[in-house]
């Protein structure tokens, strides 16, 4: 399975477009991670725990995107975009949302 951000695959011919596929990964907030991220805001520097969380989330979203495309009979997913956001749950917490979207295609 080829996963790409481009809308074409060099040297390949797209036989059919199978539709848009999406995958979502949602993480709950973590008090300890939020605490240390808050300290980093004060003293400066990168927040490694959140960087690792987003990297893991992106990998999981791409893996889920691939599985959903396979169920459609796709050989590739083109035009992939990854987006991040938050969902406010209440006054004390948010959920982190990572979404991957692309077009499932069948190649010759």
- pLDDT confidence of residue 16: 97
Catalogue all structural domains in the chain, each as residue range(s) with its CATH number.
2-107 (3.30.110.70)
pLDDT digits (tens, 9 = 90+) for 53-76: 888 999 999 999 999 999 999 999
Q: Residue 35: pLDDT above 60?
A: no
Across all residues in the chain, what is the average pLDDT?
A: 85
Look at 45 and 22; give whichever has higher pLDDT.
Answer: 22
Residue corresponding to tokens 């040297």 = 11
Whether the CB-CB separation of 54 and 72 falls below 8 Å is answered with no
Give the bridge partners for 83, in sequence order. Answer: 99
pLDDT band at residue 15 under the 50/70/90 scheme: very high
């Amino acid at each position: 399975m080829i996963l790409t951000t481009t809308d074409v695959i060099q040297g390949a011919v797209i036989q059919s477009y199978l539709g848009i596929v999406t995958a979502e990964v949602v993480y709950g907030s973590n008090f300890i991670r939020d605490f240390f991220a808050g300290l980093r805001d004060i003293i400066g520097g990168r927040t490694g725990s959140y960087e690792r969380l987003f990297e893991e989330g992106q990998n999981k979203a791409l893996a889920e995107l691939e599985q959903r495309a396979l169920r459609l009979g796709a050989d590739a997913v083109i035009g992939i975009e990854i987006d991040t956001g938050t969902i406010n749950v209440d006054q004390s917490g948010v959920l982190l949302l990572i979404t991957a979207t692309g077009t499932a295609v069948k190649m010759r």
